[in-house]
Structure 1
């Protein structure tokens, strides 16, 4: 890093710290926003987001090189609108103080649980879905009554401009502030003493974020990824299975943390999966080179990374098949799905999250063998079961761990606002959707209330003259 770049980084770190102090002071002036205040904030975000949806389509198209307009609306805009509407409808119920059971040792008293905002939430986004992975956590943070500081990915400069405009129109920066900057800026951002930190990105970077947050004992929510498998079970028709998972693989050119990473199918049916996939892919994208329905690989760096994965697989004996017979175009970075047969564990394609239009297909002898294979790796963010047999479904559900599961579908469980979304193990920590997300960004504070009668004087020392000894003897009787 040059001296000039170091100065920029130090200046931005100072800006982060000053902004955090500003938001902390503003929060302390209003530490328990009412339901009406929170709902008004969410509605302002909704209005601003909808007002700039066309600009988001244009900016993401520029940042990606080619980004399907429908995918921007479907993956980045609509889920946030649905999330806001869901929270607005339920927020007053979530905020109610809960009465809990009063234990014998503290009676007579009343025990309550109140959900209090934690303070300032830090949000670090990723490049692949820059609006959903920043505004999604923001919705949860605002619903819980917090303020937020957002760090956008530096790889989407055009989209970041629009995001800043959306936030500036909806909020004063004492409530929500937004930044971009290089990787060093993200490192400085993650080291700030937030009251909660939400990160979306790779498992490797997630480890660094958690390590930085630990210095200040900042609780973290990590939404990572991993190798999300699809199990095509013996009872499932191959054409039907492919029709159900292909869009999840093609959406955003496979650059989604929940995108199917590899397919497990009954041994001997691998070629049938390839044939069905190629047929359906050509139907979906008949003029692939010029279509606006399929997004390009985001950047030159990721395009080259994917080509290296394919070269490694070919060099080690795998068969690679383009879904439409076309080769990846280095100029436009348009890349049809490349199906990989005979993949082995020494290949990069089976070791790392692919995050792009490459799809290994492996055979198994039994469902038990498929489950065993999945369990040998890290726990994925999503697991997909293609089967109508309930016994098979239950076996896989009971013998695997994953952030979530979709049966006879892929990705869609993440679109359900009424359930928590998050990973487990290598795929993440914590949740940020729905009621569970509200709780994650709140402090559940126990409050015990006594009236005028105070029983403590009857159990105070000296113990040989009070009621405590006989009470304890009675309570601990055999």
Structure 2
């Protein structure tokens, strides 16, 4: 994800925010005094959160629209409201099963002792959420942390201030401040937040900022879950219909105008099929968006800074000899003030171009030809491991080989984005695209401590293992070590 929260300065500022420390102390003291959220309180809180999101859904949609300049209301309802409600309902339905102790078998040597694993709330969880899906990426991990019995401090992005302010109001109707608190502020607040002594810290944002967050958390040995990003590849295999692939890829790429951490970042397709793909992609975009500037379905780039960054990527690619295919179905004269960046395909882009090295996070899509699938795998594996990978093929052998030969956080086959919408599938990165995972039961486990408990029976043989050692111990060891 590109600049999803803030740019941390290289220097490690040591000035803490006293207010943040007081909030953390209040939540930790409540945890120590009253314990974790009870089973009944978790159920009531998740019910209340679900009802509050429903109550404020229109206001939330409008707040996101204001923050983006323009954000498709349907995309907000689908990606932010629907997905968040689904995550809350799933946690509400299953958390009692997730929290049950698990019996574990005990080696014959230590029987009739008994073993079990207890899933204990960690305590106070910090969440730093981004701007691109400010509701979903704030409330989904929060619901998982609450389902696990934790207290939570949430730091929303300063790039979406209207949404952040409304989220604070929504959460205040459901939780006491010692249960869930929202922290507002810019870069200095985010830096201080990442240095707090949380029991766990979840950050969603860019890989460079993730490094700073992890470094700050490491000062206090705070465990982290990092949901980052990177350049998620799409492979179109030779057996898959190119027009269907192009339409599906366009839908995933242009959702939220490409401002999605798992958006397709480049397409690998059989050499010689670039022109056919360009034509099919152009036709799909024209069907989706007959016009762009005044189209309520086409989302704006979030702010001027990101708009300028994206136009800079295009200018750099042009200077380096790339061919630029801009798609403007209505032949409009774009108004830069609207920040509606036109969908763009790139071919012949050299690897040293910035668009091939940086996460794009916009409606720009480079095409990379390959001569064999092994060459495509080598291209992917020569780069940092991505958050997502997409494959278009009906050949099960190709699917299995691709899954085996590549490493990514998650995969969707014959579509894009949809693996992230499955609550039963863990969502997370690998390598530079992230550490750890959440969603559904994986989120509950992330925000829980798996405590091992061994119960010794009244009748046991451990007395045979105590000194003074002698012949009996020698015979016992000969029996055990074999």
TM-score range, shorter chain: over 0.9
Q: Does 1:474 align with 2:474?
A: no
Q: What's 1:353 paired with? A: 359
CA-to-partner distance for each residue in 1:193-239, whole Å, 9 max, x for gaps? 10000000000000000111111111100000100111011011110
2:307 to 303, 310, 333: 303
Normalised to the residue count of structure 1, the TM-score between the two structures is: 0.95
Q: What's 1:113 paired with? A: 117
Q: Does 1:367 align with 2:373?
A: yes
Q: Does 1:265 align with 2:262?
A: no
Give, in angstroms, the shift of residue 189 of structure 1: 0.5
Most deviating of 235-244 and 34-43: 34-43
CA contact (8 A) 1:31 1:117 kept: no
**SS in structure 2 opposite 1:448?**
strand
Q: Does 1:436 align with 2:446?
A: no
CA-to-partner distance for each residue in 1:159-198, whole Å, 9 max, x for gaps? 1111111111110110000012111211110110100000
**SS in structure 2 opposite 1:360?**
strand
Q: What's 1:4 paired with? A: none
2:287 to 275, 283, 287: 283
Change (3 A) 1:340 1:403: same
Give, in angstroms, the shift of residue 39 of structure 1: 1.3
CA contact (8 A) 1:326 1:336 kept: no
Give, in angstroms, the shift of residue 362 of structure 1: 1.3
Structure 1: gaps of 5 or more residues: 1-8
Q: What's 2:87 paired with? A: 83
CA distance in structure 2 between the aligned counterparts of 1:105 and 1:145, rounded to whole angstroms: 36
CA contact (8 A) 2:111 2:460 kept: no
CA distance in structure 1 between the aligned counterparts of 2:333 and 2:398, rounded to whole angstroms: 38
CA distance in structure 2 between the aligned counterparts of 1:188 and 1:420, rounded to whole angstroms: 29
**SS in structure 2 opposite 1:443?**
strand
RMSD: 1.5
2:391 to 375, 380, 385: 385
**SS in structure 1 opposite 2:337?**
coil
CA-to-partner distance for each residue in 1:271-305, whole Å, 9 max, x for gaps? 11111111111111112221110100000000000
Q: What's 1:293 paired with? A: 297
1:72 to 70, 76, 93: 76
CA-to-partner distance for each residue in 1:425-458, whole Å, 9 max, x for gaps? 0110001111122111100001111233353333
CA distance in structure 2 between the aligned counterparts of 1:329 and 1:128, rounded to whole angstroms: 22
CA distance in structure 1 between the aligned counterparts of 2:62 and 2:38, rounded to whole angstroms: 37
Query: Quick one: higher RCO (CA 8 Å, sep 6+), 1 or 2?
Result: 2
CA-to-partner distance for each residue in 1:130-156, whole Å, 9 max, x for gaps? 111111110110111101000111111
Structure 2: gaps of 5 or more residues: 1-12
CA contact (8 A) 1:224 1:428 kept: yes
Q: What's 1:417 paired with? A: 423
CA distance in structure 2 between the aligned counterparts of 1:132 and 1:423, rounded to whole angstroms: 17
CA contact (8 A) 1:255 1:356 kept: yes
CA contact (8 A) 2:123 2:151 kept: yes
CA contact (8 A) 2:37 2:151 kept: no
Residue-pair matches, total: 468
Change (3 A) 1:11 1:371: closer
Most deviating of 278-287 and 111-120: 278-287
Give, in angstroms, the shift of residue 157 of structure 1: 1.0
CA-to-partner distance for each residue in 1:378-424, whole Å, 9 max, x for gaps? 11111000111111111111000000000001000000001110000
Q: What's 1:192 paired with? A: 196
Q: Does 1:149 align with 2:180?
A: no
